[in-house]
């Protein structure tokens, strides 16, 4: 198949899923064309069969705001026409699904009797639960989801939310986030020992959180949970990523007098090394349609303490791969963390369970589900 993929190129989960999907599809022999405003951050090395097309933004003094969705539509039309694509897979509905819809209609009007391009939209999270609900987006969102030839959501929760929030009648297939379990596995290389020495004292437990530090991630709760854990268990906290809440979080650590034990590592590429020295992953999010970063941790045998929101209970099995608690219940999350970190046998079992659960979301298996979905959509089923 010849597949166009549009996604946000930044560090967010939707871009990661789209890029890893494209890379695996290319390895499976498909021709993949990324159409985005910058090179996707995970597209770091050369892979044959992968092409990248940058959306060119035209600046004109009259335009106070960049006309990204129109420029994207035109780029989609160009790439489909000159590379004879079979389908466009839009990741994160706003504005990718509506640009793809418009591109399909332009192409339809231009080549009356030739094959029609198919549009597949994957809903990732805040495109449905937050941003898409804004009155300035809602009607366009509902229309472009309904008009897609195929729609997928990354959890059952997100599928249900889409149907109830937008009164969508279209079939939505749940295709979970996935993980390369061969790459994301616990390792013990010299870099790990070096990192461990930098992070904590010998024998101390290490807690970790990775995110883009947006309010929805509740990184302040991560810090409050850690402060309570630290009262009972000698431990350190690694915070990976960056974003708008970071300064406030650094302040909170100073106020709580725990700065010495909290390492802000910023954006990092070597996640496997980092996760391999961690004992527990914290994800107390306000909203989370799936929780890809928790899956990355679980694949490296790190149990998860998370909130019970969104799709998290579909990933993190309470009492097996970690624990879940109500949003904001910092006391309970800390209690669960202390319980796990001080009970060696239970911890070992959770660690094993976390890895086994991650294997359920194995990349090969789930990319095959996407391929079948593409074929079904192309056949008009
Ligand atoms: O919806 C978002 O906040 C953006 C998106 C991203 O690009 O980071 O994250 C979502 O998509 C991921 C990949 O499908 C999911 O694993 C995340 O749970 C989801 N984030 C939220 O729902 C907050």
Q: Smallest Cα–Cα separation from 196: which of 224, 146, 151, 238?
A: 238
Q: Which of 310, 208, 346, 218 minimizes the C-alpha distance to 336?
A: 346
* Ligand 1 pocket: which of 8, 17, 92, 124 to mutate (most atoms within 8 A of CB): 124
Q: Is the dihedral of CA 19, 24, 29, 30 positive or negative?
A: negative
**Ligand 1 atom closest to the CA of 212, numbered from 1:** 8
- 361 CB within 6 A, ligand 1: no
Which ligand 1 atom is at minimum distance from the Cα of 293?
Answer: 16
Ligand 1 atom at shortest distance from the alpha carbon of 310: 22
| Torsion sign over Cα 137, 143, 149, 152 | positive
The tens digit of pLDDT for each residue in 221-253 reads: 999 999 999 999 999 999 999 999 999 999 999
Helices marked H in 28-91? 68-83
Lowest mean pLDDT of 5-9, 110-114, 214-218, 312-316, name the range: 110-114
Which positions ≥6 away from 267 have C-beta within 8 Å?
A: 11, 240, 241, 242
Residue 311 Cα: closest atom of ligand 1: 18
Residue 306, pLDDT > 60, answer yes
Q: Look-up: residue for tokens 């909290």?
A: 262
* DSSP structural state of residue 129: H
Cα separation, 237 vs 257, whole angstroms: 13
- Ligand 1 pocket residue status of 154, Cβ below 6 Å: yes
Which of 126, 133, 307 to probe ligand 1 with, by most ligand atoms within 8 A of CB? Answer: 126
What is the rounded distance in angstroms from the CA atom of residue 36 to the CA atom of residue 7?
A: 6
Question: Model pTM?
Answer: 0.94
Ligand 1 atom 12: residue of nearest CA: 13
Question: What domains does the chain contain, in order, with CATH numbers?
Answer: 2-178+362-378 (3.40.50.2000), 190-359 (3.40.50.2000)
Q: Is 14 in the pocket of ligand 1 (CB under 6 A)?
A: yes
DSSP element (H, E) containing 119: strand 118-123
Judged by DSSP in three states, 141 sits in: helix
Give the chain's end-to-end CA distance (angstroms, integer). Answer: 17
Q: How far is the CA of 345 from the centre of ligand 1 (A)?
A: 33
pLDDT in tens, 39-66: 998 898 888 899 999 999 888 889 888 8
60 CA → ligand 1 middle, Å: 33
Mutate to test the pocket of ligand 1, among 5, 7, 14, 175 (most ligand atoms within 8 A of CB): 14
Q: Is residue 174 classed exposed, middle or buried when 0-12, 13-18 and 19+ CB atoms within 10 A define those classes?
A: middle
Tokens 């990661």 locate to 16
Task: Read off the pLDDT band of 12 (50, 70, 90).
Answer: confident
């Amino acid at each position: 198949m010849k597949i166009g993929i549009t996604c946000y190129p930044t560090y967010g989960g939707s871009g990661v899923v789209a890029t890893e999907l494209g890379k695996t599809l290319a390895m499976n022999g498909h021709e993949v064309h990324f159409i985005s405003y910058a090179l996707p951050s995970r597209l770091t090395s050369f892979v044959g069969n992968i092409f990248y097309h940058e959306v060119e933004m035209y600046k004109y003094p009259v335009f106070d705001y960049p006309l990204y969705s129109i420029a994207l539509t035109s780029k989609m039309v160009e790439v489909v026409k000159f590379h004879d694509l079979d389908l466009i897979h839009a990741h994160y509905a706003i504005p990718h699904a509506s640009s793809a819809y418009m591109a399909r209609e332009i192409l339809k009007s231009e080549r009356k009797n030739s094959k029609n391009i198919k549009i597949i939209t994957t809903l990732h999270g805040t495109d449905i639960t937050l941003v898409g609900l804004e009155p300035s987006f809602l009607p366009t969102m509902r229309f472009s989801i309904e008009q897609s030839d195929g729609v997928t959501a990354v959890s059952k929760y997100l599928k249900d939310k889409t149907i109830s929030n937008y009164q969508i009648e279209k079939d939505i297939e749940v295709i979970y986030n996935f993980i390369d379990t061969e790459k994301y596995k616990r390792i013990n290389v010299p870099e790990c020992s070096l990192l461990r020495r930098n992070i904590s004292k010998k024998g101390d437990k290490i807690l970790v959180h990775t995110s883009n530090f947006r309010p929805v991630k509740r990184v302040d709760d991560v810090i409050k949970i850690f402060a309570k854990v630290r009262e009972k268990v000698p431990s350190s906290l690694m915070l990976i990523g960056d974003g708008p809440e970071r300064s406030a979080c650094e302040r909170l650590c100073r106020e709580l007098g725990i700065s010495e034990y909290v390492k802000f590592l910023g954006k990092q590429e070597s996640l496997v090394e980092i996760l391999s020295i961690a004992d527990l992953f914290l994800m107390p999010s306000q909203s989370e349609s799936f929780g890809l970063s928790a899956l990355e941790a679980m694949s490296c045998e790190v149990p998860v303490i998370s909130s019970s929101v969104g799709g998290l209970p579909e990933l993190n099995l309470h009492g097996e791969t970690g624990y879940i608690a109500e949003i904001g219940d910092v006391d309970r999350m800390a209690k669960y963390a202390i319980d796990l970190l001080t009970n060696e046998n239970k911890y070992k079992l959770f660690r094993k369970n976390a890895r086994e659960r991650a294997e359920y979301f194995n990349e090969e298996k789930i990319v095959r589900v996407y391929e079948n979905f593409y074929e079904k959509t192309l056949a008009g089923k």
